[in-house]
Amino acid sequence: MSTLVQETAPSTYKEGFHDDDIKARHKVPKGASHEVIDYMCDVKGEPDWMRAFRHRSLDLFLKATLPAWMPGLRDIDYDAITYYASPIDKSANKWEDVPEEIRKTYDKLGIAKEEQKMLGGLGAQIDSEMAYHNIQETLSKKGVVFLSCDEGMKQYPEIFKEHFAKSIPPEDNKFAALNSAFWSGGSFVYIPKGVKCDVPLSVYFRINAEQFGQFERTLIVCDDDSFCHYVEGCSAPVYTTNSLHAAVVEIFVKERARCRYTTIQNWSTDVYNLVTKRAFVYGKGIMEWVDGNLGSKRTVKYPSVYMLGEGAHGEVLSLASADKGMWQDAGAKMVFMAPNCTARINSKSISGHGGRASYRGLVQVNPQATNCRVQVNCDALILDASSRSDTYPVMEVDGDLVTVEHEASVSSVSDEQLFYLTSRGIKKEDAVSMIVNGFIEPIVKELPMEFAVEINRLINMQMEGSVG
């Protein structure tokens, strides 16, 4: 299962460095076992119900099979993976308290500088634990809670228990079961009624260990009439072996609240990225997923919105860029469970250097969901003949008076556009990058400025030498 680094990793991946100074304080034997779960529960001091939940989830994981359509995951060697590794003793809320060797890594990634951006809070996870977590005082005074998920369970047990695993139970799928068994880190966010959190809460995930499994778990509850924007980014060193990232993100958007969740996924090309993301949205609530997938070996991820209350709105803006050695299987699920709901899926994918991008989408309108409307748009840009793009849309409509619109397009960088731009003195590679950036502009313009710049930087690096 190991491949040569040169084959899998584009040389342009700037986040692929190793930091050997970082050592796990707690390291467990490889493999997904009940012993590892007991060890984690002891170290974390977890309540008995969680211990039981983890053991039950592991049994489900071991029994679960992969659906036949799931792409290219059969070569994952679960026994070679380490399921828990913590390079810290406790989470810090001041940078000075973060161990020096970890701070160095974050400095190289520019994470410490992130704080200077317009953020309401910042978290940073390394391997299994959150090394840093901090929130602006103005927000905490309003009652906004932004903690690691482990801390959330300890400090807000009632909110936690009411929502945890309620939208994504361990039975949902094999990787949700795996996460439920070994979850560690991730964020716990609670936005009280009526509170608008205008600046984003941001979290950065780093895998440092080799052949490692990162299973962060995020739970966001936006109470009635509130708003929050959560942004996550990630990266990993380049190894010759594979790592696993199987996160679970659960979001509850209560009445008339709005939540936007933005992902800029930039894993190295030896990471399997298998994530379950789901939002339950109540009356007139709005959920928006902005899902940017720019890295990883395989990504299997379909952020979903379950519209449970009347007049709810769901939105997925999906951006996938599949470069050499990558297969982005991304998309969205919109499930209508109540009348007068609306949803929009806008997916843009780019494949180049032999990469493959697939759009997989589900629109499900249940009988009680009358008078609903959904618009699906998916556009693919293929940069060369060795690259590939597929679309797998599924529509199941049982409700009445439902409007479903679906549009799809596949294009390449046209000779006319290249001639036009180069005839103005612009070099060919810059012209290609302009066209590609223009293609993704409708999604990128939805991002806060700093993150838009980051997406453009990553895409431009992948574009290097893509059209000959």
Partner 1 sequence: MTDSLEIIDLHAKIEEREILKGLNLTIRKGEVHAIMGPNGSGKSTLANTIAGNPKYTVTSGEIRMNGENILGMEVDERARKGLFLAFQYPCEVPGVRTSNFLRLACNARAGKELDVMEFYDKLEKKMKHLEINDAFMKRYLNEGFSGGEKKRNEILQMMMLEPEYAVMDETDSGLDIDALKIVSEGVNKLRGPNLGVLIITHYERILRYIKPDFIHILVGGKIVKSGGADLAAHLEEHGYDWITKDVTPTPVSA
Query: Where does this chain bind partner 1 (CB under 8 A)?
Result: 414-417, 419-428, 430-431, 434-435, 437-442
C-beta closer to partner 1: residue 37 or 432: 432
Q: Which residue has the tokens 């036949």?
A: 68
DSSP 323-363: -TT-EEEEEEEEEE-STT-EEEEEEEEEE-TT-EEEEEEEE
406 neighbors 395 (Cβ within 8 angstroms): yes
255 neighbors 284 (Cβ within 8 angstroms): yes
CB of 420 vs partner 1, minimal distance in Å: 5
Which tokens belong to 349?
A: 């994918």
CB of 35 vs partner 1, minimal distance in Å: 53
Side-chain-side CA neighbours of 194 within 13 Å: the count stands at 1
C-beta closer to partner 1: residue 141 or 445: 445
CB of 357 vs partner 1, minimal distance in Å: 18
Q: Which residue has the tokens 């959330």?
A: 152
Sign of the C-alpha dihedral, residues 175, 176, 178, 183? positive
C-beta closer to partner 1: residue 113 or 428: 428
C-beta closer to partner 1: residue 140 or 456: 456
Amino acid letter, 1: M
How many Cβ atoms from other residues are within 10 Å of residue 11's Cβ?
11
- Taken as a whole, the chain contains a residue count of 468
CB of 401 vs partner 1, minimal distance in Å: 32
CB of 384 vs partner 1, minimal distance in Å: 17
CB of 422 vs partner 1, minimal distance in Å: 4
Task: Give CA torsion, residues 175, 176, 181, 185, to 10 deg.
Answer: 100
Name the pairing type of β-strands 227-235 and 258-265.
parallel
Residue 118, C-beta contacts closer than 8 angstroms, at least 6 positions apart: 199, 200, 448, 450
C-beta closer to partner 1: residue 100 or 416: 416
Side-chain-side CA neighbours of 419 within 13 Å: the count stands at 3
C-beta closer to partner 1: residue 3 or 437: 437
CB of 85 vs partner 1, minimal distance in Å: 42
C-beta closer to partner 1: residue 20 or 415: 415
CB of 234 vs partner 1, minimal distance in Å: 26
Of 259, 249, 185, 188, nearest to 222 (Cα)? 259
C-beta closer to partner 1: residue 370 or 422: 422
